[in-house]
A and B are shown apart, each in its own frame.
Chain A
Amino acid sequence: NAGVTQTPKFQVLKTGQSMTLQCAQDMNHEYMSWYRQDPGMGLRLIHYSVGAGITDQGEVPNGYNVSRSTTEDFPLRLLSAAPSQTSVYFCASTRLTGGLEAFFGQGTRLTVV
C-alpha cells in the first residue's frame, strides 16, 4: 500500500522556470492538500481539493496552480519560480471519517536559484 507518493524528492530551478510537483494517493480519499514548510513557519496550506474537479485556495496560494482531474492525482504547478518559493512541499490526503486523519507524502525539497 503506497499511501501518498510525491515526485520528485529534490529539485533545483532557476528563477522564472516552471515545473509541476506530482502527488498521487491510492487510498481513495476525497480530500487532498498541498502545504509548504519553512523554518519557523510550520506548515502553511497552499491549495486544497475536496474532490475531483473542485479546488480552492489556502493561506498562501500566490504563484501556484492546482487541478484535480481524478481522485488519485493532485499536481501542484509553479508558474514562474521565485527564490521565495524555496521550501519543502508536502502533499496530504485526508480520510474524512474517523476524525480527519491526514496522510502525508515524503516531501519535495525545492530550491530556486
Chain B
Amino acid sequence: GDSVTQMEGPVTLSEEAFLTINCTYTATGYPSLFWYVQYPGEGLQLLLKATKADDKGSNKGFEATYRKETTSFHLEKGSVQVSDSAVYFCALPGAGSYQLTFGKGTKLSVIP
C-alpha cells in the first residue's frame, strides 16, 4: 500500500541554520503530497503541498519539490528561526481513498 517514510528525529539546529527533513514515498500513480506542521500543544496544520510531479510547494520560507524520479518530497528552509520549533509530518492520500497516510513525524528544535 501507499506509505511515507521520513527521517527520524529529533533534529536540533541553531537559529539561521539550513534545514532539510527527508521524506520518501511509495504510491500508486502521482498523488498530492503534503507537509503538515504541529506546534506545541496544537493540532496539525497544512504547511505546504504539491499536487503533481515537479511542482514546488512553498510557505513561510519552507519549500518542497515533488520529485517522481526519486519518489521524494524533502522539506527545506534556508534559515530556521526559534519559532519554527515544531513537529513536521509528511503525508499523502492512500490509493483510491481520501485518507491521509502520515509519516511518523520529525521533531525540530531551534536554539538561539
CA distance A103 to B43 in the complex (A): 9
Residues of B within 8 A of A105 (CB): 43
* A18-39 Cβ-contact flags toward B at 8 Å (1 or 0): 0000000000000101000000
Asked whether A102 lies within 8 Å of B100 as measured between CB atoms, the reply is yes
Please judge, given known A-B contacts A40-B104, A42-B89, A99-B51, whether A58 and B99 are in contact too, CB under 8 Å. yes
Q: Per DSSP, are chain A's interface residues mostly helix, strand or loop, or mixed?
A: strand
Interface string of B84-102 (1 = CB under 8 A from A): 0000010001000011101
The total of chain B residues at the interface (CB under 8 A) is 19
Interface string of B7-43 (1 = CB under 8 A from A): 0000000000000000000000000101010000011
A42 contact set on B, CB distance < 8 A: 89, 102-105
Interface residues of B (CB under 8 A from A): 32, 34, 36, 42-46, 49, 51, 89, 93, 98-100, 102-105
